[in-house]
């Protein structure tokens, strides 16, 4: 249907300004509209599916009936602009800026060091701001809940929680007074105290200086919108676009008319279900009906028999209604409401809950819907309406299975839902298990209800429904029927489990995988329900019902969850230091305030260049195939499409040698992985480029062999050259002398970088001399310059690469970024127009590769007291299809694999496998997180075999003071031993070990684990050349200073540290020094920013330049010691003394001879230790990190706030790597996990309840920058303390169940692996599929 003649005018407000859109396109979302049309670039694109919170804005609407304004957070990426009629939108720019005044939320998140790369910060700010608009004095629970839908990859969330805490009513208390006692009055969070002995440490920020929050100063709701809403009559609005029509009825009559006229059109309220389907699944609707403020859809009726809730209410509103009902109605009537309310606490994030409607949630019938199984068992009724009249249908299994006779008719709408009260003797419960506790779709969820005959424990009614185990919600009706009339006892439980497993059956190849886990959850949930109901029956009638075993009671409690508190101990500044000298002070990130106001500019925030084009890639859908033909004719015929670039166009520049073998840019004759770049479509808009890319037709012919896994690579002998070896001592001889020998293996999965800002670039041809400017989000501008120059066949001096800041990188913005930039620049050069390329999150995850999966096989010889005398280990990494940095990663892993231990006889080999997956690449830690885990797993195995605590075996094998590494470099391990001892003391390790054992003896279904891991992280680049750095410092005649250097600011605060360096060296205030973007124009040939040394190396270069300048100016300053910098600069100019200097650092001494297996590859070592305690739920596989203590040796910290931020950010990223971050590939090599909905990085709910970080006092003076140490990567490995704490808890569960054999656990330790390792009668009861009898949904690569 084309646009109607009287198309409506769209009117809404943004940041207090009226926006009128004469021809609004229904397909336009608010996010691109804000960013591209209105140029509010503070709101960021992070995932496009409502899963990361980067695009959070506040929506305000006025209700003329209640006369109230509702403010709620929403994901701009999912909001069609046509749905905003009469609404007021507030973005981060609207609440404060550096030009007007900043808002207290913006100030506090910046000054509490809650921003690093800053890309997620505007979304965080808007989530907190919206909460404060509704609750000016929130509780800590409300704050963490408000941030549940916002992801951050840099900070580890602790400083963001600190910023939030400053708004709370009471700063320290959790506000959950259990039994009337505050958590702070009890022993610290139920653990042995840490408070008593803690020394006052200087604070990282001064809370008393913060701006007060004044609710009277906020933006008012536009009066025009109030008058508009009050002034009925409203009339139906129709917006017509090129392909779609949007109908917004404002009365029930209009809605029914529209639905009668367009029966196939979906009714959209929040667009959280239809939106992602359109975006990610290519579903198209020519007409959409979106009711606006229809009162009948928003009713709430409290009747004697139940509660009727309008289908148009948002899930957040439903949650508030249920909270009210729970407080006002008697408990026996509210069983269903309580279960629903509990589920709504973890369903999605706050933004989605505020957008999604109850009706939409029910009618979409997603297979993993959390509410539908509960509503089905609760005997709810759907109240339907159409032009033909109203009718009621039950919300039951048939409705959920979309049986035509039990479904809505095409012309009907869902008006409301009636949820009956529960009766006396009726019990309802809800269960769910997801990869992450909050904002994650359930793997399995369930609703269960039982009704007993009066006074007897005999089942009269039983209803059970499951989500996540079939194409739709499944009701176990037959099993329930057979159990009616039975008594509620152990015998019934056993029969029920078998019946349910028979009825709710899952094939081995079921979508989503995790089949045995799902089968186990199905009956584990029923067992939890059995225990819950038994406990209530016992309380009601103690004489008739057996009491639960004491050690079973904890099965019903939620995992240890209290509000966060943290303690940070860092070094004090030397009292001898000059008061103006900023070194050693916790100075806020230079861009902190700009991050928080949305003024910090990232690559895609750059305004469009005149006649700019957009490029999108067409990628391979096959993992190993010959390209038979590429047909681009249909793509080129679309309006707005300018060109399609293929390998034919690139010809002889279609490859570039960066590492030891050439990397191809576009696939020519064959593709070697899914996600291989085949061609690039260039059009005048992103939308057109995407549409055209879908029309490119490629014919493939599959090739053999298809190698995806490490095992397949070993079988086909598919490796990259060279293999690396390291030997020390005499391994074979040592194996003859030991008491015991043990062999084992461990597999470790990969990890996605998940930087918040996806790969972004803009290539601008300058129009003369073949010059090209490339603006790109990269860690390595020199590489971009080289690869672009090679592709354009021009010398490097014609190509300039500029990087202001990067929205997170972690190693993922080097090699592949170069290839993407080269193709973008080639297109720009060919067409003579600027070309922009910004990958969508799913494309980015598909194309770029991440951390290498590892497989290690080890053989270890040891004495009975735990001393390891011989270790023989082979590392295999999955390198993917091209070399990239795989060999370098293997080498570093090999050199660092000893971690903190002296193995007198060691033989280690490392091979990188060539497979048909996208090339894996550099990632924070660079091989050590894998190699270190393998060594620690080996230690844990030895401890189990010797019957010792792992910590005892760790201590006995640790380096002692002065020693030698396997590559013959000397080590001084004094600080390692000090970190270890301090961590034992700070964490009260022995006291808590005893407390954990006591807890485990008293609890059968919950277990706690405690683990402590040491760290020795060598820092160095492996060669002198890789460590050189340069800087350029200018002094201007007004006395101001400009600094540029070769390092990239990607959140680690390197620019802030450089200004601190210049301030100290030139003895001038930091406010006098400015820093410009990094560019190949000012600093040539700069090395890659990575390897923890960016501030080290560039800081030494800045220091060198400043010292050169001071030396030149010394005579002038000594003549006028009381002068200002302005006086001195002018005097120098008058005497013709240059006020500009380059600084240079040639690199640390570094070499490694792999033939001899010896060298001096590293400059220094970062030492540390971490102790973590976790609690696991043996029935579901859930875990919670209760407490982590970290001690780090950081030398002399240049900026403790930034350094602690690096340590805890890396720790949380490492915790994700070892626990919940799981990549899934199909047996055909297709990546399933392509966004935050499928791939879970840690969220705010994963932060340890208690986090204590302590830095050792300043130590040895080294030849690093002011004796500091680089801390970007080392802390990541400490995340494995959580892995081994879970291992400890699982071991306790297995010992109690009489399972004594060796325990083999691979990483990541997901809920699935935890549950299946805690073997019990339920894991034994499930059916198992023979391997080979089915095609699995995913494989371990």
User: What are the distances in angstroms from CA 526 to CA 241, 462, 478?
Assistant: 50, 12, 15
Residue ranges of alpha helices (H) inside 708-814 are: 710-715, 731-737, 781-792
Exposed, middle or buried, 40 (CB in 10 Å: 0-12/13-18/19+)? Answer: buried
What burial class does residue 771 get, using C-beta atoms within 10 Å of its C-beta: 0-12 exposed, 13-18 middle, 19+ buried?
A: middle
Residue entry with tokens 């699935």: 1312
Residues with Cβ < 8 Å from 361, sequence gap 6 or more?
273, 315, 369, 371, 372
Neighbours of 22 (CB within 10 A): 8
* Chain Cα centroid distance, residue 707: 29
DSSP 423-477: PTTEEEEEEEEESSSSSS-EEEEEEEEEEEPTTS-BEEEEEEEEESSSSS-EE-H
Query: Token match 């506090």: residue?
Result: 108
Contact 1113, 1068 (CB under 8 A): no
In sequence order, the β-bridge partners of residue 5 are: none
642 HSE (CA, 13 A, CB side): 19
Beta bridge partners of residue 301, listed in sequence order: 308
- Annotated active-site residue in 612, 757, 1273, 1312: 1273
Residue corresponding to tokens 């407080």: 327
In which order are the strands placed within the sheet that holds 772-776? 641-646, 677-683, 613-619, 835-838, 760-765, 772-776, 799-803, 1078-1079
> Which DSSP helix (H) or strand (E) runs through 977?
helix 974-986
Q: How many CB atoms lie within 10 A of CB 472?
A: 17
How is residue 891 written in tokens?
């080498």
Cα-Cα-Cα-Cα torsion 1280, 1281, 1285, 1291, nearest 10 degrees, comes to 60
Task: Using only the alpha carbons of the chain, give its radius of gyration.
Answer: 31
How many angstroms separate the CA atoms of 691 and 242, rounded? 14
Torsion angle defined by CA atoms of residues 50, 53, 55 and 61, in that order, rounded to the nearest 10 degrees:
80
Question: How far apart, in whole angstroms, are the C-alpha atoms of residue 482 and residue 127?
Answer: 49
- Bridge-based pairing of strands 237-240 and 17-21 is unpaired
CA distance 359 to 382: 9
Can you tell me the distance from the alpha carbon of 1142 to that of 1104, in angstroms, rounded to the nearest whole number? 8
Tokens of 351: 């933004």
- Comparing C-alpha atoms, which of 52, 272, 276 is closest to residue 148? 52
- Please spell the DSSP secondary structure of 182-251, one letter per residue: -TTTSSGGGS--SSTTPPP---SS-GGGSPPP-GGGSPPPPHHHHHHHHSPPP--EEEE-SS-EEEE--S
The span from the CA of 980 to the CA of 987, in Å, is 11
How would you class 1330 by CB atoms within 10 Å of its CB: exposed for 0-12, middle for 13-18, buried for 19 or more?
Answer: exposed
Q: Give the span between the Cα atoms of 47 and 275, in whole angstroms.
A: 13
State how far the Cα of 341 lies from the Cα of 879, in Å rounded to an integer. Answer: 46
**1273 part of the active site:** yes
What amino acid positions are annotated as catalytic residues?
1273
């Amino acid at each position: 249907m084309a646009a109607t003649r009287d198309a409506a005018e769209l009117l809404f407000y943004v940041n207090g300004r009226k926006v009128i859109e004469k021809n609004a396109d229904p397909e336009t979302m608010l996010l691109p509209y804000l960013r591209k049309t209105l140029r509010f670039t503070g709101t960021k694109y992070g995932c496009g599916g409502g899963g990361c919170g980067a695009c959070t804005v506040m929506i305000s609407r006025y209700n003329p009936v209640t006369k109230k304004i509702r403010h709620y957070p929403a994901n701009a990426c999912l909001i069609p602009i046509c749905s905003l009629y009469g609404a007021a939108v507030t973005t981060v720019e609207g609440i404060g800026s550096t030009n007007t005044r900043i808002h207290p939320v913006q100030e506090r998140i910046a000054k509490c060091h809650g921003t690093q790369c800053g890309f997620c910060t505007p979304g965080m700010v808007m989530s907190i701001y919206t909460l404060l608009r509704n609750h000016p004095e929130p509780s800590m629970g409300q704050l963490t809940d408000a941030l549940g839908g916002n992801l951050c990859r840099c900070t580890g969330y602790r400083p963001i929680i600190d910023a939030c805490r400053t708004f709370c009513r009471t700063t320290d208390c959790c506000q959950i007074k259990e039994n009337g006692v505050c958590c702070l009055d009890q022993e610290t969070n139920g653990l042995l105290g840490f408070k008593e002995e803690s020394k006052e440490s200087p604070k990282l920020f001064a809370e008393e200086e913060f701006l007060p929050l004044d609710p009277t100063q906020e933006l008012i709701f536009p009066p025009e919108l109030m008058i508009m809403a009050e002034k009925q009559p409203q009339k139906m609005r129709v917006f017509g676009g090129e392909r779609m029509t949007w109908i917004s009825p404002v009365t029930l009559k209009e809605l029914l008319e529209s639905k009668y006229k367009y029966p196939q059109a979906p009714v959209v309220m929040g667009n959280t279900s239809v939106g992602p389907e359109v975006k990610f699944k290519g579903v198209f609707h020519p007409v959409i009906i979106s009711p606006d403020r229809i009162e009948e859809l928003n009713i709430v009726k409290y009747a004697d028999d139940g509660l009727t809730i309008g289908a148009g209410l948002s899930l957040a509103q439903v949650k508030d209604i249920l909270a009210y009902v729970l407080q006002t109605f008697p408990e026996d009537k509210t069983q269903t409401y309580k279960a629903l309310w509990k589920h709504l606490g973890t369903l999605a994030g706050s933004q989605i809950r505020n957008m999604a409607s109850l009706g939409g949630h029910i009618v979409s019938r997603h297979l993993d819907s959390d509410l539908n199984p509960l509503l089905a068992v609760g005997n709810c009724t759907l109240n339907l309406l159409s032009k033909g009249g109203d009718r009621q249908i039950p919300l039951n299994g048939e409705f959920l299975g979309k049986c035509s006779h039990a479904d809505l008719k095409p012309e009907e709408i869902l008006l409301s839902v009636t949820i009956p009260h529960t009766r006396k003797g009726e019990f309802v419960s809800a269960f769910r298990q997801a990869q992450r506790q909050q904002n994650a779709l359930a793997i399995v969820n369930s609703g269960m209800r039982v009704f007993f005959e009066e006074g007897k424990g005999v089942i009269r009614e039983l209803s059970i429904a499951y989500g996540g185990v079939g194409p739709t919600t499944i009701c176990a009706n037959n099993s329930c029927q057979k159990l009616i009339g039975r008594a509620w006892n152990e015998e019934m439980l056993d029969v029920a489990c078998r019946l349910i497993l028979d009825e709710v059956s899952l094939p081995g190849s079921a979508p989503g995988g995790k089949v045995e886990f799902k089968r186990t959850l199905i009956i584990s949930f029923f067992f939890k329900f059995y225990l819950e109901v038994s406990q209530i029956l016992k309380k009601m009638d103690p004489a008739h019902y057996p009491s639960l075993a004491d050690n079973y009671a904890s099965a019903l409690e939620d995992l240890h969850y209290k509000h966060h508190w943290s303690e940070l101990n860092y070094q004090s500044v030397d009292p001898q230091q000059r008061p103006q000298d900023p070194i050693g002070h916790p100075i806020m990130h230079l861009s902190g305030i700009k991050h928080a106001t949305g003024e910090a500019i990232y690559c895609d925030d750059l305004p469009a260049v005149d006649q700019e084009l957009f490029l999108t890639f067409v990628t391979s859908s096959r993992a190993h195939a010959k390209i038979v033909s590429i047909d681009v004719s249909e793509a080129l015929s679309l309006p707005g499409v300018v060109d399609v670039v293929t390998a034919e166009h690139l010809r002889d520049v279609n490859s570039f040698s960066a590492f030891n073998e050439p990397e191809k840019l576009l696939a020519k004759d064959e593709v070697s992985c899914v996600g291989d770049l085949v061609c690039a479509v260039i059009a005048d808009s992103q939308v057109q480029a995407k549409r055209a890319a879908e029309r490119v037709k490629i014919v493939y012919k599959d090739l053999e062999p298809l190698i995806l896994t490490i095992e397949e690579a070993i079988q086909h002998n598919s490796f990259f050259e060279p293999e690396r070896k390291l030997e020390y001592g005499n391994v074979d001889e040592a194996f003859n002398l030991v008491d015991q020998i043990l062999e084992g293996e461990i597999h470790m999965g990969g990890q996605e970088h998940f930087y918040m800002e996806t790969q972004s670039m803009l290539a601008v041809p300058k129009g003369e001399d073949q010059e090209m400017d490339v603006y790109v989000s990269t860690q390595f501008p020199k590489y971009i310059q080289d690869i672009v120059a090679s592709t354009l066949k021009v010398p490097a001096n014609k190509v300039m690469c500029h990087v202001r800041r990067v929205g997170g990188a972690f190693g993922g913005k080097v090699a592949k970024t170069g290839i993407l930039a080269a193709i973008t620049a080639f297109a720009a050069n060919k067409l003579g127009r600027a070309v922009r390329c910004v990958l969508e999150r799913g494309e980015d995850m598909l194309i770029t590769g991440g951390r290498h999966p590892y497989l290690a096989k080890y053989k270890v010889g040891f004495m009975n007291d735990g001393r390891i005398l011989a270790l023989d280990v082979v590392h295999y990494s999955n390198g993917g299809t091209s070399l990239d940095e795989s060999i370098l990663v293997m080498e570093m892993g090999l050199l660092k694999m000893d971690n903190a231990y002296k193995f007198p006889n060691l033989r280690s080999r490392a091979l990188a496998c060539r497979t048909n997956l996208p090339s894996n690449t550099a990632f924070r830690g660079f091989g050590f997180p894998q190699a270190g885990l393998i060594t620690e797993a080996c230690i844990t195995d030895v401890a189990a075999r010797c019957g010792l605590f792992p910590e005892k075996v760790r201590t006995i094998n640790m380096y002692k003071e002065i020693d030698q590494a396997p590559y013959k470099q000397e080590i001084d391990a004094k600080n390692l031993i000090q970190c270890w001892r301090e961590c034992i003391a700070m964490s009260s390790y022995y006291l808590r070990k005893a407390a954990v054992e006591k807890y485990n003896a008293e609890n059968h279904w919950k277990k706690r684990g405690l683990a402590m891991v040491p760290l020795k992280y060598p820092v160095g680049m492996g060669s002198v050349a890789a460590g050189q750095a340069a800087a350029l410092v200018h002094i201007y005649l007004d006395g101001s200073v400009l600094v540029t250097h070769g390092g990239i600011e990607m959140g680690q605060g390197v620019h802030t540290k450089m200004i601190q360096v210049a301030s100290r060296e030139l003895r001038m205030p930091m406010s006098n020094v400015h820093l410009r973007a990094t560019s190949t124009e000012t600093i040539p040939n700069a090395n890659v920013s990575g390897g923890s040394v960016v501030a080290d190396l560039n800081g030494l270069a800045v220091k060198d330049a400043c010292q050169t300048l001071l030396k030149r100016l010394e005579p002038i300053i000594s003549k006028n010691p009381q002068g200002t910098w302005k006086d001195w600069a002018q005097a120098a100019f008058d005497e013709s003394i240059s006020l500009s200097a380059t600084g240079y650092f040639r690199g640390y001494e570094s070499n490694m001879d792999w033939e001899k297996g010896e060298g001096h590859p590293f400059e220094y070592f970062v030492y540390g230790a971490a102790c973590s305690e976790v609690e696991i739920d043996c029935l579901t596989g859930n875990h919670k990190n209760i407490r982590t203590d970290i001690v780090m040796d950081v030398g002399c910290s240049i900026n403790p706030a930034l350094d602690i931020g690096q340590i805890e950010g890396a720790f949380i990223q490492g915790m994700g790597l070892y626990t919940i971050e799981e990549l899934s590939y199909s047996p055909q090599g297709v990546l399933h996990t392509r966004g935050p909905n499928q791939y879970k990085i840690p969220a705010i709910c994963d932060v340890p309840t208690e986090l204590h970080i302590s830095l050792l006092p300043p130590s040895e003076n080294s030849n690093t920058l002011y004796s500091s140490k680089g801390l970007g990567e080392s802390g990541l490995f400490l995340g494995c303390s959580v892995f081994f704490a879970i291992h400890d808890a699982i071991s306790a569960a297995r010992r109690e169940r009489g399972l004594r054999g060796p325990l083999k656990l691979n990483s990541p330790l997901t809920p699935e692996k935890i549950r299946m390792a805690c073997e019990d009668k339920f894991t034994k009861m499930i059916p198992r599929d023979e391997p080979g009898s089915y095609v699995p949904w995913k494989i371990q690569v």
